[in-house]
Amino acid sequence: MPALADSYVIPPPPRPAIAVAGSDKTFPVRRIWCVGRNYEEHIREMGHDVRDPPFFFAKPADAIVPDGTRVPYPSLTKDMHHEVELVVALKSGGRNIALDRALDCIYGYGVGIDLTRRDLQIASRDMKRPWEIGKAFDASAPCGPLQPTSKIGHPSKGRIALTANGEVRQDGDLAQMIWNVPEIIVKLSEMVELAAGDIIMTGTPSGVAATVPGDKLECEIEGVGRLTVTIAPPPA
Ligand code: MN
């Protein structure tokens, strides 16, 4: 029987993974799910009704890039925005997960940025087209090291903030989430079967804004950790 790698017609692409704080091991990423609207002030700044329920979209797993990355400014956009978000990493999953079992699925938490080509997202929305062009581009999901729940528990409150070149842009609190983490897991598991390796970006507080080459974006979530990326010029 041939070795597994020999069974592919081309070399298999590498498995995207996220660093784990205090460990040499990494967390392998299966899918990236994102919550669209989950902080009231951000919903207002985007011009939507806060009574609308949050919804979900996805990014490809290989959109993950680590802490310290120089993210190249992506093509096509003139308005890339930062959205700092709490990242939830699952160690197990299932369908129709019960609310009181949802936290049991979580391996750990991290700090992420849902980078967004806002102009293209809004154009897609207005044309009733899919959001991928605005949300699912290369390197669109920077994610800092995960903190296992065995070390930090399950943070449900605490400051979530992003500064650009030292200037505070986003400054919220996890307690402002409209849907909390267990509720998000329950809802997602009604739509798809969740599994180990899935991560969820849980929505952003207000203060989203354009970011340009040269910007240093520093993110922090109290009790979870930090993430720093720099926006680099577009690839030549
Ligand atoms: Mn987002």
Reported confidence tier of residue 42, pLDDT bands at 50, 70, 90 = confident
What phi, psi does 124 have (nearest 5°)?
-65, -45
Q: Tell me the C-alpha distance between 115 and 100, whole Å.
A: 32
78: pLDDT strictly greater than 70: yes
Ligand 1 mean position to 39 CA, how many Å?
10
Residue 2 has pLDDT above 60, yes or no: no
At position 57, the amino acid (one-letter code) is F
Distance 202 CA to ligand 1 centre (A): 7
Cα of 38 from ligand 1 centre, angstroms: 9
- Write down all domains in the chain, each with its CATH number in brackets: 16-232 (3.90.850.10)
Q: How far is the centre of ligand 1, averaged over its atoms, from the C-alpha of 4 (Å)?
A: 37
Distance 64 CA to ligand 1 centre (A): 14
- pTM for this predicted structure: 0.95
Q: How confident is the model at residue 111 (pLDDT cuts 50, 70, 90)?
A: very high
Q: What is the mean pLDDT of residues 48-61?
A: 88
Q: What's the gap in Å between 186 CA and the centre of ligand 1?
A: 19
Q: Give CA 213 to chain center in angstroms.
A: 21
pLDDT digits (tens, 9 = 90+) for 144-196: 999 999 999 999 999 999 999 999 999 999 999 999 999 999 999 999 999 99
Distance 36 CA to ligand 1 centre (A): 6
